[in-house]
Chains A and B, each alone.
Chain A
Amino acid sequence: MASQKTKNDWNDESTSEISVTLLPLSTEQTPSVLEMVQGPGAPRNYELFRAEMVVGRAIDADVPINSTDLSRRHVLLKRAPSGQYSLQDLESRNGAYVNGVKIHSAVLHDGDSIQLGSILFVFHEGRAMS
């Protein structure tokens, strides 16, 4: 049986009423990020802010990387309505590898490694971006 002391300590009426302020949405919505861990200028983060982003050697690529290992348009990162990104090889010369597997396309998950030639990225999945 609870003592009188415990009962008083946990008395509901001791809760003070406050008006709850919702935390800013930005802590809920974070974009997915492509972290370059090996390559020119690494370490470096690329935020994925568009539904379709091309990674390649071309100067006008969304993620331009100055390396002859890469094709001009090497891979496409594409966001599904669910917010999930997938990676697609754009018939690149040296291929695209996800966790060491040469892929044609792959739905990406947090922590996946992406290798394009000698360039290495880690994919960080964002939250609630669609």
Chain B
Amino acid sequence: MSFFVRFWGIRGSIPTPGHLTKKYGGNTSCVEIRSDDSLFICDGGTGLRELGADLLTRGKKQITGHFFYSHTHWDHIQGFPFFTPAYIPSNTFHVYGTAEGDRRTYELLSGQMRSDYFPVDFGELRSNIVASHLDGGHREIDGVAVSFFEQHHPGRSWAYSFVRDGFKIVYATDNEIDLTFPRPEAVLKEPEAPRPIPEAFRQFCHGADLLIADGQYFDDEYEKKVGWGHPRASTIIDLALQSEAKQVAIFHHDPMHGDSDVDRKIALCKERAARVNPQLLVFGAREGLELRIG
């Protein structure tokens, strides 16, 4: 068994098309995870449109997919009305809330398709769209154990882990870990020192074969963006190191960052990782990249 993980949208906050973002891409959050025939979709930002188009070329008569939304900020749901497979009656999509009766995600997805915002009504999505949930934080779907963890983000957000046959993928975006530090000023005084990643989150990410995590800001940028819901990229390196992840994809790139800025951010992240564990593989999530895990 292998997981296949493909990045369809990696950008934070707002789509950023154009030549400056050609390499990493301009679509907002959407990551596809496949395990055998099962399809898991993390977030439905504008990258979801292209995933939808690609799914239709794969020759399956019936598509079943499981949607896990980190949260319902625009950049994570905007692609859904343009997800063509949702308009085809033979397909089924499960949209997971984090507790029984939690239909927040489902309601917000349908809400963005009200006529004030969008010409097509949610009811015109002919596929079978099922509001579902994770039982007590966990659920086994087609042999994949899925769990969630509540993060730090305005209006709440969730990280998800996917485990099968000992292989683990964590998707953790829109998470201002830096806000959990008991002494934020210590980071400014000693930026090189290891950061106090909360134990529970370290455990959640522990041993991930692939950790996909929001690393939107450079250190100096973060000072002006405290409370906006995103961490320093350097903090994600400490998360990866302390949770003993094998590789980390820095995700949710800032819309103000062109390819050269992201390159620079990743280079700094690599330096930080190499000082502690040269084995940790660090890279910038970029569209069109597909990894095989396991």
Contact = CB atoms under 8 A, between A and B. Distances in A.
Interface of A: 86, 89, 98-107, 109
A63 B22 CA distance: 27
Chain B contact surface mostly: strand
Question: Which 5 interchain pairs have the tightest Cβ spacing?
Answer: A107-B288, A104-B292, A105-B290, A109-B23, A104-B290
Contacts of B6: 105
A102 B291 contact: yes
B281 interface: yes
Contact of B291 (A86, A101, A107): A101
Interface residues of B, number: 13
B281 A100 contact: yes
Interface in B4-61: 4, 6, 22-23
A75 to B, nearest CB: 13
Nearest to B24: A109
B222 interface: no
A101 B289 contact: yes
Contacts, number: 33
Interface of B: 4, 6, 22-23, 247, 281, 283, 287-292
Contacts of B287: 107
A12 B4 CA distance: 63
Nearest to B287: A107
Nearest to A105: B290
Given A109-B22, A109-B23, A101 B288 contact: no
A104 B288 contact: no
17 contacts: A86-B288, A89-B292, A101-B247, A101-B289, A102-B292, A103-B289, A103-B290, A103-B292, A104-B291, A104-B292, A105-B6, A105-B288, A105-B289, A106-B288, A106-B290, A107-B288, A109-B23
A101 B289 CA distance: 10
Nearest to A104: B292
A84 to B, nearest CB: 8
Contacts of B281: 100-101
Nearest to B259: A109
A106 B289 contact: yes
